[in-house]
Amino acid sequence: MSTLSAGHTTTPAATTLETEVLIIGGGVTGAGIMRDLALRGIHSVLIDKIDLCAGASGGNHGLLHSGARYVSTDLEAAIECRQENELLKRLAPQCIEATAGLFVAVEGDDPGFAERFPELCRRAAIPCDELTVAQARTLEPHLADKLVRAYRVPDASIDPFHLALANVDHARLACGSLYRAHTELLEFEVTEGEIRSALCRDHRTHAPLVIRARQFVNAGGAWAMDIARRAGCTDVNLHYVKGTLLVNQDRMTRHVINRLRPPGDGDILVPGGTVSLLGTTSTRVSDPDRVAPTVEEIDRNIREGSAMIPALAGARYTRAFSRVRPLLQGARDTSDRAARRGFALMDHRAQGLANFCTITGGKLTTFRLMAEKTADLVAARLGNRQACTTGAVALPLGDAGRWTEPGAAPRQWVKLNDPADMILCECEMVPQSAIDQIVAAPPGEEPQVMSLEAISLRSRVGKGPCQGSFCGIRVSSYLYDQGYYRGAAGLTGMRDFFDERFKGQRLVIWGQQAAQMELAEALHCGLLGLDALPAD
């Protein structure tokens, strides 16, 4: 294992890090690669230009696929999902709720597809039990009266934030590997067919950072094609597909509910913690950095979802959000829904680079398999013969990510029974002791100021009905009083946090929610003057 070192390049303000492997992209795949390498004794540095799960990994249903969704369109992907679903339930149960899933057909759906569905599942070895309409409605009373067919499959819900944090934490503990948020790749230094270093920039300080490594891994998700181009590689070709989802403030079902038809819009409802997620749409876009929900997409999700669960038509939605998923371009693609859901690992030797690879495509459910295949390639190049162990070694139960779990903070607060431990987020009952633990620097690392958005990613702060309108102020004020934020850092952090939450709220606000938003705006702008702060 190599050691981290700090020094200076010819640019006085630049810092240099040295490692064996640089991983670019902090989604669950990048975090999984970091852990897989660490368990083989290989040190790595993981970077992301924003933070963990800032892309598709943090903008999805949180569905651990059984594979049943893809049995009619991509059998290989269905089998991979089924296998990884079974593994992750055993190895990372702290990140998973074994809800099971129902596939339901309503009047007007294709009866032929419903009839073929069990055989399609059998080909992928996916357990599929038919239920009577009465049995299905007993399990899920909100299902439509016009229900005509129902099957149960081993779907589940998974917390991608807890999953990524736990993988990164295990890599730190196992090998001293390092994660850096807000670190954007600018360019590679290439000499004699190898990348020697990556020039990066810290978005918070604007300071340059040079990372030297022996191997470089592109796990950039929707940005993988751009990263590959920066290395001079033109063999990564992706479609950018935007998906829009809605967050319902209630947990309306116990099971994941899928429409019993080929994949389409608004045909999955996933219970996650105290809420439900409905979606998703599928729209081709040209720029992964410029996506936002539209009224038409929101209406379509609600219209299609309410055919399965009529109560969705009048439910309260706290926000909508969009993320981009990278789909591999293929000759057989007739639509984005028909595009492959598998993944691709490219070693780029044909492009003239011997120490660079790209992993892209795939699903959240298959992240561990994607990480294994990537780490196999990287380890072989480094002469490391240690086999992958992530298929057998359980993810440790440590503290990393536990504040993302609904109910974790209240349980801890009640256990401590400390009247001085003030509740900062009343919707999700997050106390100041939880915030103290979240912002503390990991052992052996230099303290770095964490934004309110980063704190929200690592906890339930801002996840409740008020969407951070009140707890954002309380958390920032508490950290300012503790000397954690200085100058205007707390105010600008609040502004950026509230702005991001508002983007997802403004299209789903009506009735009493509109009055609540007016109150939040009065607090944020009229009282705190956040709208008058200078732009970054």
Residue 80 in any domain: the answer is no
DSSP 395-420: PP-SSTTGGGSTTHHHHHHHHHT-TT
Name the strand (E) or helix (H) holding 106. Answer: strand 101-106
In a domain? residue 387: no
378 and 456 co-located in one domain: no
Rounded to an integer, the average pLDDT of 235-250 is 94
Residue 140, domain extent: 96-157+239-328
Tell me, yes or no, whether 74 lies in a domain: no
Residues 50 and 25 in one domain: yes
**Cβ(144)–Cβ(92) below 8 Å:** no
Asked if residue 330 has pLDDT above 80, the reply is no
Higher-confidence residue: 4 or 373? 373
Task: Name the token pair of 504.
Answer: 């997802």
The upper half-sphere exposure of residue 180, i.e. CA atoms within 13 Å in the direction of its Cβ, equals 21
Report, as an integer, the average pLDDT of 306-335.
Answer: 85
Which pLDDT belongs to residue 411? 79
Q: Which residue in the block uniquely carries the two structure tokens 């994607």?
A: 370
pLDDT recorded at residue 362: 92
Residue 411, number of CB atoms within 10 A of its CB: 12
CA dist., res. 476 & res. 452, Å (int): 7
pLDDT of the residue at 5? 35
Q: What residues contact 10, with CB distance under 8 A and at least 6 apart?
A: none
Looking at the fold, whether 190 and 226 belong to one and the same domain comes out as yes
User: Does residue 245 share a domain with residue 230?
Assistant: no
Residue with tokens 């790749």: 185
Pair (491, 356) in one structural domain: no
Same domain, 136 and 195: no
pLDDT tens track for 419-454: 889 999 998 889 999 999 999 977 666 677 899 999
Q: Please determine, for residue 333, whether its predicted confidence score (pLDDT) is greater than 80.
A: no
For residue 418, the tally of other CB atoms under 10 A from its CB is 11
Range from 53-67, 418-432, 521-535 that averages highest in pLDDT: 53-67
CA distance 283 to 241: 5
Q: What is the pLDDT of residue 331?
A: 38
Kindly report the CA angle at 478 between 475 and 482, in degrees rounded to 5? Answer: 135
Asked if residue 374 has pLDDT above 90, the reply is yes
Closest CA to 245 of 161, 322, 324: 322
Last residue of a domain, one of 282, 306, 328: 328
CATH of the domain at 368: 3.50.50.60
The larger pLDDT score, comparing residue 164 to residue 521, is at 164
pLDDT per residue as tens digits for the range 74-131:
999 999 999 999 999 999 999 999 999 999 999 999 999 999 999 999 999 999 999 9
CA–CA gap between residue 482 and residue 465 (Å, rounded): 27
The pLDDT value given to residue 17: 96
CA–CA distance, 405 with 160 (Å, rounded to integer): 11
Tens of pLDDT, residues 377-422: 999 999 999 999 999 999 998 777 888 888 787 777 777 778 889 9
State the residue for tokens 């992706």: 238
Domain match, 165 and 141 both: no
Q: pLDDT value at position 4?
A: 35
Q: What is the pLDDT of residues 127-159, one digit of tens each?
A: 999 999 999 999 999 999 999 999 999 999 999
Least confident of 18-32, 81-95, 272-286: 272-286
138 and 251 part of one domain: yes
Reply yes or no on whether the pLDDT at 317 is more than 60.
yes
Same-domain pairing of 368 and 247: no
The pTM of this model reads: 0.92
Domain membership of residue 62 (yes or no) is no
Are 244 and 301 contained in the same domain?
Answer: yes
Q: Residue 322: pLDDT above 70?
A: yes
The overall average pLDDT reported for the chain is 91
> Which residue do the tokens 């996650």 mark?
272
If asked whether residues 197 and 309 sit together in one domain, one would say no
Total structural domains within the chain: 3
Does 391 map to a domain? no
Same domain, 425 and 521: yes
Q: Per-residue pLDDT tens for 149-192?
A: 999 999 999 999 999 999 999 999 999 999 999 999 999 999 99
pLDDT surpassing 50 at residue 332 = no
* Cα separation, 229 vs 410, whole angstroms: 47
491 C-beta neighbours (distance < 10 Å), count: 16
CATH of the domain at 289: 3.30.9.10
List, for residues 243-254, the tens digit of each pLDDT value.
999 999 899 999
Q: Is the residue at 77 inside a domain? A: no
Centre a 10 Å sphere on the Cβ of residue 90 and count the other Cβ atoms it contains: 11
Q: How many CB atoms lie within 10 A of CB 446?
A: 7
Phi/psi of residue 320, nearest 5 degrees: -125, 150
Q: Quick one: which of 165, 162, 166 has its CA closest to 272? A: 162
CB 185 within 8 A of CB 49: yes
